[in-house]
Structure 1
Amino acid sequence: MIYKISCGGGSIKGSIALPASKSISNRLLMINALSGDLVNINRLSEADDTITMKALLESKSKALDVRDAGTVMRFLTAYLATIPGEYSLAGTERMHERPIGILVDALRQLGAQIEYSGTEGFPPLKIIGGVLHGGELVIDGSVSSQFISALLLISPVISGPLSIEFSGKISSRPYILMTLKLLESLGINSKWKDNKIKIRPGKLTETSIDVEADWSAASYWYSMVALAKSADITLQGLTAQSIQGDSIVASIFGMLGVRTEFNESGAKLTKSGEVVDEFGFDFTDCPDLAPAIIVTSAALGVPGLFTGIESLKIKESDRINSLQKELGKIGVELDRISDRAIRTRINAMPVNSALSFETYKDHRLAMSLAPLCLLHENIEIDNPEVTSKSYPDFWDDLRSVGIEVAPSS
């Protein structure tokens, strides 16, 4: 399927009920499963990843397919290692290209029995679940914070204290903090000092938790406001006090001309008219925000230097390669400086030309490219249904603010 997207007047206005955070939802689902249904989860995400997570946690099957859900693959690897039985865990072809060796090695040190069914260090996996013991782990924290969160989430049910020491730089630190805060809300305390986390097993307590609106999803609306001629968008349910690290998006887009005002309804976004001449940011703590911000700064004609992007190559697509190809269509060159840094160079940009964008089966690429309809008439987005992975109502929400979205004939 291909969608044709346009916004003739370049102006948008409306109030958007953002999806619930799938990051919080997936963690709560795993904690709930380990606790024996002690967590009452209000406003669970309806994203494909969360639906998959819930279905597999409730499944009686021994052969589990996570499809393209990276979080589910990593969390279930740890979860199944604690559940008696023999399981196979697989996914899509792309999932089998995404590394998991760091997590498997760590779980083996805690007593897990896990074998690779294909290429060493990658899914699919064969897991024989049982009792795991505590221990002291040293882990490279630069690859994926989800490896760390997976280990922390099973800490309440292993037989002994767990210590995780990080070697090198820590990627997506706020997501680890989110995991620790959710565990703390259920009675599991931890201590993070310098580069080491210590956490003890314990009894999870019954609680009720409301899932926050998703700040990652908000980034695409910030992009639309930045590129629109005029904008008045309210994002319902967002607050300045959030356990999501991606809430930093409000501050980042302040440099790209978007003003954020919090009120009882949520966050009101309008144009400030103040855009920096050059832009730079380190995405180590918030890599999921990188595509939307890189596309926005490029579309505004603002050259940028972006660091902390090394994890982008192991996402749903290699997002650096994908962005290189797609931004080239609007006259922007994306140069790799190193494995963790890229620079954008702005050339002559085609005005109001018809553009067709590939999404590479990557939900964040599709949603990051869609706002370009505010600058270019009749853009086309291939495979638009991929947005259901994290934001099922994305296209309907675009229609609600005056953007035309229709299948291409």
Structure 2
Amino acid sequence: MIYRASHDSGSIRGAVSLPSSKSISNRLLIIKALSNSPVTISNLSKSDDTSILKELFASQNKALEAKDAGTVMRFLTAYLATRAGEYTLGGSERMCERPVGILVDALRQLGAKIEYAGAKGYPPLKITGSALHGGQLVLDGSVSSQFITALLLIAPVISGPLSIEFSGKISSRPYISMTLQLLNTFGIESLWKNNKIKIRPGHFRETSIDVEADWSAASYWYSMVALAKEAEITLTGLTGSSIQGDSIAASVFSLLGVRTTFTDSGAVLTKSNEVAHEIGFDFTDCPDLAPAIIVTSAALRVPGVFTGIESLKIKESNRITALQEELHKLDVELIEISEIAVRTKMNPEPTSPASVLGSHMDHRIAMSLAPLGLMHTSVDIKDPEVTSKSYPNFWNDLKSVGFEIRPVK
């Protein structure tokens, strides 16, 4: 399927109810499954990833499919290792290309019984649940934060304290902090000092919790405000006092002409028209913001140098390759200058895409390209339905602020 996105006036106004954070939701579902105390979760994400996790918890099957949900694959690998029974855990073709070897090796050091059903280091997995013990793990700090989170989430139910020491620079630090803060809400204490986290077994206390609005989803609205002729968008329920690292979007997009005002209703986004002549940013702590920020700066013809992008290559798509291919259609080059950095090079005048923009079956690529419909007569986006992975109502929300979204093939 292809959607054609266009906007007659190029000006947007309205209020949008963002989806709930799937990062928080998925962590809470694991905690609820591990807890012997009542856990009440309000405003749970309706994303595909969270729905998959809910369905798998409700399933009586021993053969489980994470489909294309990375958090589900990583979190369930650790969770199932603590549950009695024999399981197989697989996923989509792309999921089986995403490495899990570091997580499996770490779990094996804690006593887990996990074997590879296919290629070594990759799903699918054969997991025999057993009683795990604590221990001291040393992990490369650049590994996926989801590996670290998977280990931290099961730490309260294993025998003995768990220590995780990081070597090198730590990636996606805010996502690890989010996990520790959520565990603390449930009475599980931890200590993170310098490059080491220590966490002891404990009992989850009875808790009721509301899931925050999703800052990752907010980034696409920041992009729309930046690219619109005029704009005033209220993102209801979005707060500045968030446990999500992606809340830094408000600061980064201020360099691209977006002003954020927090009110009792949420975050109000307006145009400041103060756009930097160039931009540089390190995505180490917030890789999910990269597509929206890189595409927006390119559309505004603001040259950029972006670092901390190495994890983008093992997401739902290789997001570096995907962005290179799609930005090329806008006469923008995304040049890799090292393993961890890219820069943009462009003609000064915006160019309308001459061909269909590909989502690469990646929700964040699709959503980062949609705002371009405000700057051009229209943009055509292939496989638009992938946005349901994290933001099921994305296209309807665009319609609510005046976009015309129609299938063309």
TM-score bin (small chain) = over 0.9
Alignment partner of 1:212: what SS? coil
8 A contact 2:330–2:353 mirrored in 1: no
2:40 matched residue in structure 1: 40
| In 2: Cα distance, 1:69 partner to 1:36 partner | 26
1:290 aligns with 2:281: no
Give distance in 2, aligned partners of 1:208 and 1:140: 35
How far apart in 1 are the matches of 2:135 and 2:92?
32
**Alignment match, 1:251:** 251
How far the C-alpha of 1:353 sits from its partner, in A, is 5.6
Q: Does structure 1 conserve the Cα–Cα contact (< 8 Å) formed by 2:329 and 2:353?
A: no
Deviations 1:240-290 (A, max 9, x none): 100000000000000000000000110000000000001000000000000
Q: Secondary structure at the match of 2:329?
A: helix
Contact between 1:331 and 1:349, CA under 8 Å: does it hold in 2? Answer: no
**Does structure 1 conserve the Cα–Cα contact (< 8 Å) formed by 2:174 and 2:285?**
yes
Is the Cα contact below 8 Å between 2:37 and 2:204 reproduced in 1? Answer: no
Question: Which SS does the other structure have where 1:252 is aligned?
Answer: helix
**Could you say which residue in structure 2 is the equivalent of 1:77?**
77
CA separation of 1:140 and 1:398: change in aligned 2, threshold 3 A: same
How far did 1:352 drift? 4.9
What is the DSSP-based 3-state SS (H/G/I as helix, E as strand, rest coil) of the residue aligned with 1:102? helix
State whether structure 2 residue 379 is matched by structure 1 residue 379: yes
Match of 1:356? 356
- Deviation, 1:58, is 2.0
Conserved? CA contact 2:299–2:350, under 8 Å? no
Cα displacement (A) at 1:38:
2.1
The letter of the residue matching 1:88 is T
Q: Residue 354 and residue 333 in structure 1: after superposition, are their counterparts in 2 closer, same or farther (change >3 A)?
A: closer
TM-score (norm 2): 0.99
Q: Over the residues paired in the alignment, what is the CA RMSD in angstroms?
A: 0.9
Does structure 1 retain, via aligned residues, the 8 Å contact 2:329–2:354?
no
Do 1:44 and 1:211's aligned partners in 2 also have CA atoms closer than 8 Å?
A: yes
Residue 105 of structure 2 is aligned to residue 105 of structure 1: yes
Q: Which amino acid is 1:209 matched to?
A: I
Equivalence for 2:230: 230
CA contact (8 A) 1:359 1:382 kept: yes
- Unpaired runs of at least 5, structure 2: none
Cα distance, 1:8 vs. partner? 1.8
Unpaired runs of at least 5, structure 1: none
Name the SS of the counterpart of 1:258 in structure 2: strand
SS in 2 for 1:330: coil
CA distance in 1, matches of 2:177, 2:83: 25
Cα separation, 2, equivalents of 1:36 and 1:203: 8
Q: Which residue of structure 1 lines up, in the alignment, with residue 158 of structure 2?
A: 158
Q: Which TM-score applies when normalising by structure 1?
A: 0.99
Q: Which residue of 1 aligns with 2:198?
A: 198
C-alpha distance after superposition, 1:354-388 (max 9, x if no partner): 54100110000000000001111121010000000
| 2:28 aligned partner | 28
Aligned to 1:317: 317
Q: Distance between the aligned counterparts of 1:5 and 1:14, measured in 2? A: 18
| Counterpart-to-counterpart distance in 1, 2:102 and 2:158 | 19
State how far apart, in whole Å, the 2-side matches of 1:353 and 1:171 are. Answer: 34
Cα distance in 2 between the residues matched to 1:384 and 1:151: 34
What is the alpha-carbon distance in structure 1 between the residues aligned to residue 136 and residue 162 of structure 2?
A: 6
Q: Does the alignment pair 1:10 with 2:10?
A: yes
Report the count of equivalent residues. 409
For 1:269-348, list aligned pairs within 5 A: 269-347=269-347
Q: 1:312-337: CA deviations, max 9, x gaps?
A: 00000000000000000111001001
Q: Which amino acid in 1 is paired with 2:373?
A: C
Aligned residue type for 2:254: G
Q: Distance in 1 between matches of 2:354 and 2:7?
A: 13
Correspondence 1:95-174 to 2 at 5 A: 95-174=95-174
Mapped to 1, the partners of 2:137 and 2:57 lie a distance apart of: 26
Distance 1:148 1:200, change over 3 A: same
Residue by residue over 1:76-102, the C-alpha shift from the partner in whole angstroms, topping out at 9 and shown as x without a partner, is 000000001000000001000001011
Q: Is the 8 A contact 1:4 1:406 kept in 2?
A: yes
CA distance in 1, matches of 2:293, 2:107: 35
Looking at structure 2, the residues matched to 141 and 63 of structure 1 have their Cα atoms a distance apart, in angstroms, of: 32
Measure the CA separation in 1 of the matches of 2:387 and 2:96.
21
Q: CA separation in 1, counterparts of 2:343 and 2:18?
A: 31
Q: What is the letter of the counterpart of residue 11 of structure 1?
A: S
Distance 1:329 1:8 in 2: 22
